[in-house]
Structures are given as structure tokens and as C-alpha cells.
Structure 1
Amino acid sequence: MPAIRSLTLVYDALNEDRTFSEGDLIAGKVTLAVEKPTAVQSFFVKVKGDAQVRWTTRSGNHNQTHSASRRYFKLKHFFIETVLPQGVHVYNFRFTIPSGTMPSSFKGTHGKIVYILEAKLLRSWKVDKTADKVIIFRSKSIPHLQSLMLQQVAVKDKELGIFSSGKVHMKVTVDKTAYAPGETVLVVAKINNNSSSDMIPKVRLSQVIVYSARSSSKHESITINKLASQNIGPRSEKEVRWAVKIPTNQEPTIKNCEIISVEYSLKVYLDISFAFDPEVTFPVIIIPPNVASSSQGAFSGPSWAPHNSDFPPAAASAACYPPSPHRGQGAQAYLAPSPFYSDNPTNYAGPSTINPSPVAPMAWGFYPGTSSLSSSSSSFTVVHPLPNPERFHSTAPTFPPNPSPPGPSAPPVLDLAPSAPSYEPPSYTSTTNFLSQSDEPPPAYSLIFPPSAKDE
């Protein structure tokens, strides 16, 4: 009969989507069922965030593998190091996700950004027992969010080539820049076809993923949605409107990861036979739904349909910025400057030393309460409570008290009540910040990305 019957891990959801963000509290419990007294070498729970990329290229008769990894944080807490009696043991835990900028969870063809909560039991000369849960992380670090709720406007003029005469004028308006999954991008294009050619207005929403490993990179382009309008004849003018739907399961924009970049663009162009298609390209930022809902109440942008005009004023296009170099360049007139995204994310070793939350910082160890359990007892359940945070070392800085001004000292006060005996926590509990730990690398890539036939 195996000594360990089961090891399970559960955590409390903070919202309907079961997502977490910077500074959120992850609380849950680890349940361990033991069939007989068992010696435990190490028992802990940890949470970590890692990014990894890997792909293979062929040069002649040789295959070259490109890979890179980044660790954003790792927090680890030990439960117990002793002999566990028979029964069911329940351990509560709490982690505070570090604040700062970290990329959202992502899974792609050649890489992923993953956040994992894992409980692990180690015994001498025995196979390790583990239980883990993948946590969906959605970053709230979005610079210039209010400006991303403004309209975008772009103008394009083009002289047609050899097979056509005349020129085309196109003015395009997009209602904003930032969208949540499931929202609709509203596009208006006013086209003046002062040429001898027919043309079909089209719009395309695309995703561009860039995987980077040292000096190498790999690009992946995916069309999310594509729409076409009716033909516009020569010497005519027409206004076209589109509603481009964003899928509800679309990954958010990622621009704060060094090795994985996820960007979106909206291209409006005129499909003209035997001519270079005039086009304008707008950036699109996909943000988490909770961030989008909070931004709507904090900012009221210009109206979608301004009075006495089919298009918004130029001042309403403050969210427009030049297209990414991954999407190519074009002669396009933008009417506003671009917001700034940081390209140098910072690794965070743990919670801030000053924690504004009423919850104590997660520099806690855990130990099995005060009850004494006999190994000969029958099956039972023991809940190991969270310790008093005042008994544990805090990472917050301490400062000496302000010196009192000189003066007569107060008379001593006699305290006749007996003082309570001091208590020291057990010596077998410990808590360590493992961000800089080098003896445990990120999870093996082969476990996350099995080699495909194409790679081999």
C-alpha cells in the first residue's frame, strides 16, 4: 500500500475569469492524504512566472536550435520537514504576486509565458509527489491607457500607375486604439476615387508574434478578421463603414517581454487591379476585460458620430502612432503622436518591502499547528492554520524611534500583572525568496513543447 494516497492543490478565484494581475493575492490550500506514518524530506508550495522560446532552423546538413528563457518571479514556502502521521492534512497558503510590469500569459507555436502554482512532496528514495495549477495572468501595466481610448485618423493620397490615370484620396477613422476581447472595432473610410479604375475597399485585423533568442528572431503573422465592401467605380466618392469583431478568446497585446512580442494592427486598403494598393495601418491594443471596464468610467472620449461632420476632428486622434517595423512602413499621414511602451521589463524578486495591503506580506513559513498527533490513531483530518504574521520576520524596513527631547523623566510605572511567556516559532519552518536561486532552472522546454515533425 502506498504511503501517500493523494496530493491536491486548489486556489480561490478572484473573478469569473479566474485571472490574476500584479499585486493580487493568491490564497488556497494543499491537501495531503497519508495512509501510514511517513517521513518527509521536504514539503512546500511555490508560484513562479517564466517565459520560454524555442525553434529549430536548418543550415545545410545541420540543425540549429534557438532558445531563450526569462524568469519574472518565484516565491516558495515550506510546510513541514518531519514525520507525518496517518490521516488527511490540510495546509493553507497565501502568496502576493509582485507588483510592477510582467507580461500576460501566452501560448504560441514557438514559445509561451506561463505562471504555475505547484505543491511538491519529497521523500528519501521515493518518487516525488507533485500537484500543480496553471494560473492565467493578465497584466494591468498599460501605459497611456486614457489616450488609447481616443479616435485614430489617417489620410492617404496616391497617384495611380501605368494602367490607370488619376489619383485616389482616402481618409479613415477608427473609434479608438484599445479593445477588450469580444469588442468591435468601428471603422469609417471616406474614399474619393478620382481615377479611371474600379476599386474594392477592404479591412484586415492581423496579429504579429515575434519570438527572440539572442540575435535571432522568428515572425508569425495571423489574420484575425477580414472584411470587404462593394466596388467603387471610377470618378466617384463613397463612405464605407465596417464593424470588425475581436474574438472573445483573443490573447492580449504583449510588449513588455524581452523574448515574446504580440502585436495587432488594422489595415484599411483599396484593392485595385494592376496597381499598388493604397493603404493605411492602425495599431490595435488588446487589453484584459477588467482593465477595459475600469478605463470606461475613468475617461470619456470624443463621440463616435460628431455633430455636423462625418469624421472626428484631428485632436481626437491622439492615440495614433506609427506602425510597428514588423508590419512594414508606408507613406501614411498620421495626425497625432504615439504613446510609449517600455521595451525593458524589470525582473522582480518578490513583494514590495512596503505592502499597502492589509494582508501581511508573504514572508511566512508554515508549520503544523500545536496539536500532538499519535501515529497509531485512526484516519482523521488536520487543518494546519496560517500562523500569526507578527511571529515572523517581515521584509519591511525598520527605523529607530525618534529621540525624545531632554527633560525630566516620568516616574516608573509598576506592572503587577505577570508577563506572558515568550514564544519562538519552530526551527523547522523556513521561507526563502528563490528568484536568484540557480539550482533549479525553469522547467524543461521539452516537457512544455514536445518536438514536432517539422522541427525534426
Structure 2
Amino acid sequence: MKEFRIEFDSPTSAYYAGQIVSGRVILNLQDKPKKVRAITIEFLGEAKNQWLGAHTERMPNGENKTHNVNFMGSEEYYKFKYNLLGGGGAEMEIPQGSHVYPFTSTLPPSLPSSFDGEHGYVRYKVTATLDRPWKFDEHAEGVFYVVTLYDLNTDMKAKETIHQEVSKNFCCLWCQSGPLQLILAAPFSGFVPGQTVPLSIDVENGSNVAVDKVTVELTKYMTWKATEPTSSEKQDKLDLVTEELGGVVVNSSKHWNHQLVVPVFPYVNLTNCHIIQQEFKLSVTAKVSGPHKDLVIKVPIVLGSVPIAEHSSVQSSLPAPTQPLAPQQNQMQNQAPPPPIGLNVNNLYPSIPAIDASPVSPTY
């Protein structure tokens, strides 16, 4: 057998959730015919987690013993199998030469996006199998990528305004100072990568303690969940943005209209993945001098693929993936393109520039 492989119609091997995955199995028998019972095609989408951690268990003598174990979790989202050739149990002979067997399958619309992380992954693949009588079966595998859009216009929480305020008083020996107040406001709570978000930040420092600086942070939290050998969770933190504003001296106030730029990064929709979850938080901190505790506002935010329409500086729509929009011909040729806002949904198939086609970890 000279060739046995899978080829997708999508040039990027990527598809939107809800699209039809289509392609072909290519079989080239160079030397001689081959006897088979069937040629099958199987589609599989799954998530898996694994990490090494400490586990404590009670021994028969009543003592607790701690040792390292592999925590694991798994979920299956999509599985579909059918015969491309044969399947009735009888043997048949595939003649020498090149053969092409087309395949199709419709993806469910609510699949989690493809994802590879430090402790787990969400992956999709197609496996073609030559069911051979009295011999080992032969397999060809192809990995494809699923992009599930998240439209912030459908999320009421994303449209909510942000308005948070906190205050505290400082005590020093026999006296108590006036309050230090921190206020954060924003017109909405849902952003997309590449978007500029207007933040209103106020510090009213009626205390006798100086604010050295005010920081703004956007943080992503990844939570990995395992079910074996027992339920367990592991959380990782990644700072996406850390910016510093000025300080505020005692008995004074300061206001900032701060433009927070959400960095362009590979956002993935893991809404329907229950063992890998992501959360984003916006933090504003008034870092005070001396041994006093800082004043912090931390609010959850929503990140997605399609920006909120009334707050987007670019026109964003969600066309059917099978109906790509024609490129505009009247764009200014000498004008630099704007930074990317959200995910480009104007193509027939999604692009996957941030996904490694041959991930090396995790390998389980």
C-alpha cells in the first residue's frame, strides 16, 4: 500500500461549529489488490485533563498518607461512525490503483472550540479504518479544528455596565484618617480581543496615607477539573494586561479616563466544556504606602468573538459560514488596516493562526 490518508476540503482543516466537515479518504494500492471487510470513517471530539498532584487518603490504621497521583478527567462531545465501503460482513477486494472515498458529517452547533493547554485539551479527529480479514486493521487519522463563535450580543451579562466602588479608613495609633475611595466604571462588561475599552477610574483620597500608584490588570484564570482517582481542581493564572497609572497624594483626588486595550490572543469558546473552564477578571488596585492593605476592585468580565454592536468601532456581523461575504473593492489601498477586533467570520472556513497543527503537549 503506497498511500492511505485523510484530506479535508477546508484548506486550514478548520470548521465552525454547526458546519459540515467534508473531505476524502485517499487509498493508493500500488502493488496488488487488498481484501477488506469494510472501510469505516469515525469522527470523535473529546476533552482530556491530566496533572500530577498530591492526594491524601486515610489508611486502615487511621493515619493519613499523602502521595502523588495522576489526576485525570475526560469528556466526549461528538462521535459518529459509518461505512464508506462494505460493512455487511462479507469480504471484498479493492483493486490495484488509486481510490477516493468522500465523507461528510455535520458538527453539532454547541461544541467547545479546539484547545491545547498545559494540563489538558479539546481535540477533534477523523479516523479511517481498513477492516481486514484475519489481519491487523490499518488506520489513517486526520486532525481538524473546531471554532465556536461567542456572540456577546446574546449575553445579557456582557451588556451590563460596570460600576463598583470601595472605601476604607486607616487607623494610626490614636487617630483615624478620612476615607480612601476607589471607583471604577465602564459602559459594558463584555469585550473581544483587540478591543479598546473606556474605563473611568476615580480615587478620592481623604486619608493621611498616600496612594503610590493605581494599577489596572486583566487576568485569565484557567480551571482544570478531574474526576479520577477522585474529584480535584487545579487553577492557573495568567496576567494578560498590567498597566500603571499615577499616584494620589493625601487629601486630594484624581480622575482617569483610561483606554484599556484587550490584547489580541487566541480566544477559545469553552462554554460547553465542563472539565476545562476559563474566567476573566478586571482589577483596579490603589497601592498605598506603608504597611497598609491596598484597596482593590475586582470584577468578572466576559470575553467573546463578536463584539457588542453598540460599542464596537467596526461593523460586526455573524454571516452563515457557508455564505462568505465578498471582499470590499473600495477600501483605501494606502491606509493601514485597523487592529483586529474579535474573530473574522467573513470567510467560508475559519483561520487558525494560533493553533499548532502538531501539538507536543499534553501527549496522553
Q: Shared fold by TM > 0.5?
A: yes
CA separation in 2, counterparts of 1:192 and 1:243? 20
CA separation in 1, counterparts of 2:312 and 2:24? 48
CA separation in 2, counterparts of 1:130 and 1:144? 40
Return the structure number with greater strand share.
2
Partner of 1:285: 302
Question: What are the Cα deviations for residues 289-327 of structure 1, in whole angstroms up to 9, with x where unaligned?
Answer: xxx15x52xxx3699xxxxxxxxxxxxxxxxxxxxxxxx
Q: State the SS of the aligned residue for 1:148.
A: helix
Partner of 2:331: none
Q: Once the 2 structures are TM-superposed, how far is the Cα of residue 450 of structure 1 from its aligned partner?
A: 3.9
Residues 40-439 of structure 1 correspond to what in structure 2 (within 5 A)?
40-58=36-54, 62-81=67-86, 82-99=92-109, 101-123=110-132, 124-126=134-136, 128-140=138-150, 144-145=154-155, 147-162=157-172, 165-199=177-211, 200-214=213-227, 215-252=231-268, 254-273=270-289, 274-288=291-305, 292=306, 296=309, 300=310
CA separation in 1, counterparts of 2:222 and 2:5? 36
CA separation in 2, counterparts of 1:18 and 1:285? 28
Q: Once the 2 structures are TM-superposed, how far is the Cα of residue 144 of structure 1 from its aligned partner?
A: 4.4
Q: Once the 2 structures are TM-superposed, how far is the Cα of residue 6 of structure 1 from its aligned partner?
A: 1.3
Is residue 44–residue 80 contact of structure 1 (8 Å, CA) maintained in 2? yes
Is residue 30–residue 92 contact of structure 1 (8 Å, CA) maintained in 2? yes
Q: Once the 2 structures are TM-superposed, how far is the Cα of residue 12 of structure 1 from its aligned partner?
A: 3.0
* 1:231–1:448 CA distance, 2 compared to 1 (3 A): closer
Is residue 114–residue 146 contact of structure 2 (8 Å, CA) maintained in 1? yes
Amino acid at match of 2:3: S
Is residue 7–residue 31 contact of structure 1 (8 Å, CA) maintained in 2? yes
Q: Once the 2 structures are TM-superposed, how far is the Cα of residue 232 of structure 1 from its aligned partner?
A: 1.5
Q: State the SS of the aligned residue for 2:264.
A: coil
Q: State the SS of the aligned residue for 2:172.
A: coil
RMSD: 3.0
CA separation in 1, counterparts of 2:178 and 2:214? 18
Is residue 185–residue 244 contact of structure 1 (8 Å, CA) maintained in 2? yes
CA separation in 1, counterparts of 2:197 and 2:151? 22
Structure showing greater radius of gyration is 1
If the length of structure 2 is used for normalisation, what is the TM-score?
Answer: 0.72
Question: What are the Cα deviations for residues 151-176 of structure 1, in whole angstroms up to 9, with x where unaligned?
Answer: 32212222234388321122211242
Q: State the SS of the aligned residue for 2:300.
A: strand
Is residue 253–residue 285 contact of structure 1 (8 Å, CA) maintained in 2? no
Question: What are the Cα deviations for residues 332-377 of structure 1, in whole angstroms up to 9, with x where unaligned?
Answer: xxxxxxxxxxxxxxxxxxxxxxxxxx9xxxxxxxxxxxxxxxxxxx
Q: State the SS of the aligned residue for 2:158.
A: helix
Is residue 117–residue 135 contact of structure 1 (8 Å, CA) maintained in 2? no
Amino acid at match of 1:222: L
CA separation in 2, counterparts of 1:151 and 1:197? 31
If the length of structure 1 is used for normalisation, what is the TM-score?
Answer: 0.59
Structure 1 residue runs of 5 or longer lacking an equivalent are 304-357, 359-446, 452-456
Percent of aligned pairs with the same amino acid: 22
- Paired residues in the alignment total 297
Is residue 150–residue 301 contact of structure 1 (8 Å, CA) maintained in 2? no
Moved more, 190-199 or 249-258: 249-258
Structure 2 residue runs of 5 or longer lacking an equivalent are 56-64, 87-91, 314-321, 323-359
Q: Once the 2 structures are TM-superposed, how far is the Cα of residue 272 of structure 1 from its aligned partner?
A: 0.9
Question: What are the Cα deviations for residues 380-421 of structure 1, in whole angstroms up to 9, with x where unaligned?
Answer: xxxxxxxxxxxxxxxxxxxxxxxxxxxxxxxxxxxxxxxxxx
Partner of 2:357: none
